[in-house]
Structure 1
Amino acid sequence: MLNILLLLAGFVALIFGADKLVDAASSLAKKLGIPNIVIGLTIVAFGTSAPELVVNVFASINNNTEMVLGNVLGSNIFNVLAILGVSSVIYPLTVKRNTTWLEIPLSLLAAVAVLFVANDVFLDSAEANLISRSDGLLLLLFFCIFLVYNLMIAKGGNEDDEESETKDYTYLKAIFFIALGLGGLILGGRLIVTSAVGIAQAFGLSERIIGLTIVSVGTSLPELATSVVAVRKKNVDIAIGNVVGSNIFNIFLILGVSTVITPLQVSAASFTDIIFNIGAGLLLFIFIFTGRGRQLARWEGVVFLLLYLGYLGLLISQE
């Protein structure tokens, strides 16, 4: 019970910290004359992925490697099947041309990249499957390419379309909230990792299962909240762009950083999650072209949600 309470407290501290950090950093950047588009592509995008990053950094330092991979894969599967499922049931999601032909395929490429870097036994006849530090550095290089792509898109677009709301804090208040936000992230991340490991041990669950379910869903709450609020306001570009961008961040940045800290040994069971992640990305790409126009319809959202429930059932059956 204590571990469950600490886990909930960790999620509250983590999400509060990410929210305060984004608001304060955006306000400070605005005062320093940094363009809105750069704020959106860096500070805000990083803010929604900060929970996964902080949790994975602590898990890597503590050598909880199954939780590291489970959190990344679980978050990506939850993002596509649950968040886009819920969002498209609320309101059908129309997908932009760039998102269709560049960003969604890039997120699918990221999912496939995990399969390759984790498959040492099959590809290199190694004794064990390991995502090494060199693999992590390669993923980080892909992340740099993704950032450059985003900046090129931003330069070619109309900045007025990218206007983002920012808080108007004084310099002192902004610095205080940045420190408070970082403190919340660090405290929350630490609480989540230690309490999740305690829960896994108490209930006889593997770190992989805890990472794929409780931890990944909890750290994906900012993406869920952002997408649901956006789609209720009919801002469907934000809803789908937020999810696809987060999936790319999770693999190229978060998994990259995690494996640079501590190389990850990949269990045989994790390949089920890797394949399921690829399947979710492929299905997203296919669904865009079914029905009318480039759109995720309500019935496709229902299919996504049913698949996610089926995936949870599969995880439970494996324990």
Structure 2
Amino acid sequence: MEYLYLATGLVLILAGANYLTDGSAALAARFRVPGFLVGLTVIAVGTSTPELVVSVLSALEGQGDMAVGNVVGSNLFNIYVILGLCALIRPLPLTRQNIRRDLPVGLGAAVVLCIVLADEVLHPGHPARIGRTEGIAMLALYALSVWTAARAARREQPAEDSAAARPMAGWLMALMIVGGLGALVAGGELFLHNATAIARKLGVSESVIAITLVAGGTSLPELASSIVSVIKGRSDIALGNVVGSNIANILLVLGMSATVSPLVPGGIDGVTLGAVVLGSLLLCAAAFTFRRRSLDRWEGAIFLVIYGAYLWWLLAK
């Protein structure tokens, strides 16, 4: 029966990603805003719902390690696996606004994560603690980043294809976005639960399940929506989704979790935090390598290799 539920979850994920992409493209055209901004805000927050639910519930139960580990694992999967796969399908162009504003904000969020977890790395005997004050500050930073992006979007020219996009009724557009997000989240939960059950029956270790299925499972909405966006020629939405999700995971998800209940994470080492920052640095550097202002296929392949090396290191510890 698990295999049937697994297939059902996959169908929901694919259908949800398809409708979410079309609805988001229509939203960008309707309000004449860049598709990247829609991916950075609407889609990013929506696809980060699984991380938000898992982290907040973990915080309420006093499991700070699960709350932080979920965010860190998801961010690593987002930037190395999702962007890596998307770039292999089609190189991802980077706009001047991405390079000057959006990617540096993503890097800044990664640095904030390192700062709030500095005690864990610098003083192994003194576990880090993300208190309510830090949580509120992170939420304020997230609100500021969204406000800044929205304000800048008003001054930018609308996407070239906005005027040519086929008009869509407002109710249908909203239905596609909300329904697509709902299908993504529900399908992701169904897929993750049954994939985990199947892996346990096959004798796969709990550590492998946690590192691969759980981290990747909560990122399934981002993975599906980003790949479908790239296939449909909306690389801007895919890039905005990943960058926005990583920012939302750190500042919104962790910020809200710490505000609800202070987090005392454990097990987050310097290599893992370094991998999070490295991913943001490599994405910024991609704008200046070989084919400028683009994350190329070979760079996507490097991202996947780095993630594979990180998993190997993690399992070999």
Q: What TM-score do you get using the length of structure 2 for normalisation?
A: 0.74
| Contact map agreement 1:22 1:44 (CA 8 A) in 2 | no
> Which residue of 33, 39, 48 corresponds with 1:37?
33
- Amino acid across the alignment from 2:48: E
- The alpha carbon displacement at 1:314 in A equals 1.9
Question: Partners of 2:77 and 2:311 in 1: how far apart?
Answer: 10
Task: Measure the CA separation in 2 of the matches of 1:284 and 1:35.
Answer: 28
Shift of 1:317: 1.8
CA distance in 1, matches of 2:168, 2:287: 39
1:57 has 2:53 as partner: yes
1:97 equivalenced with 2:96 (yes/no): yes
Q: How far off is 1:166 after superposition? A: 9.1
| Superposition map of 1:1-319 within 5 A | 35-37=31-33, 41=37, 45-62=41-58, 63=61, 64-120=63-119, 127-159=126-158, 161=160, 163=162, 205=206, 212-318=211-317
- Residues in 2 aligned to 1:271 and 1:116: alpha-carbon distance in whole angstroms: 12
What is the distance in 2 between the residues matched to 1:181 and 1:235?
16
Change (3 A) 1:237 1:128: same
Q: Matches of 1:256 and 1:19 in 2, distance apart?
A: 30
> How far 1:110 moved relative to its partner?
0.5
Alpha-carbon offset, residue 129 of structure 1 = 1.0
CA displacement at 1:117 relative to structure 2: 0.7
Identity %: 33
Aligned length, in residue pairs: 310
Cα distance in 2, alignment partners of residues 315 and 111 from structure 1? 20
Give the match's secondary structure for 1:37: coil
Residues 297/180 of structure 1: CA separation in 2 closer, same or farther (3 Å cut): closer
Instruction: Give yes or no for contact 1:51–1:189 (8 Å, CA) kept in 2.
Output: no
**Contact 2:51–2:253 (8 Å) recurs in 1:** no
Q: Would the aligned equivalents of 1:133 and 1:261 in 2 still touch at CA under 8 Å?
A: yes
In structure 1, what residue type is equivalent to 2:41? A
Structure 1 stretch displaced more, 276-285 or 179-188: 179-188
Indicate if the aligned counterparts of 2:71 and 2:250 stay in contact, CA closer than 8 A. Answer: yes
CA RMSD, aligned part only?
A: 4.2
Contact kept in structure 2, 1:56 and 1:71, CA below 8 Å: no
TM-score of the two chains, using structure 1 as the length reference: 0.74
Distance 1:219 1:15, change over 3 A: farther
Is contact 2:23-2:173 (8 Å) kept?
yes
CA distance in 2, matches of 1:211, 1:35: 41
Corresponding residue SS for 2:290: coil
Task: Answer yes or no: is the 8 Å Cα contact 1:21–1:182 preserved in 2.
Answer: yes
Q: Is the 8 A contact 1:73 1:277 kept in 2?
A: yes
Unaligned runs of 5+ in 2: none
State the shift of 1:302 in Å: 1.5
Structure 1 residues 87 and 134 mapped into 2: Cα distance closer, same or farther (>3 Å)? same
Once the two structures are superposed, what CA deviation does each residue of 1:73-119 show, in whole Å capped at 9, x if it has no partner? 22222222122222222233321111112211111111111011112
Equivalent residues of 2:39, 2:244 under 8 A apart:
no
Change (3 A) 1:82 1:17: closer
Residue deviations 1:257-298 (CA, integer Å, cap 9, x gap): 222223222213444322211111112222321213222222
CA distance in 2: counterparts of 1:307 and 1:275, whole angstroms = 12
Q: Would the alpha carbon gap of residues 68 and 274 (structure 1) be closer, same or farther in structure 2, given more than 3 Å must change?
A: same
The answer to whether the Cα contact below 8 Å between 1:227 and 1:239 also exists between their aligned partners in 2 is: yes
3-state DSSP of counterpart to 2:315: helix
CA contact (8 A) 1:84 1:240 kept: yes
Provide the C-alpha distance between the structure 2 equivalents of 1:193 and 1:156, rounded to a whole number of angstroms.
41
Aligned equivalents of 2:23, 2:123: Cα separation in 1 = 47
Cα distance in 2 for partners of 1:142, 1:45 equals 14
What amino acid is aligned across from residue 257 of structure 2 in structure 1? S
Q: Distance in 1 between matches of 2:235 and 2:146?
A: 22
> CA deviation digits over 1:13-34, x for unaligned, max 9?
688778878988999x99xxx8
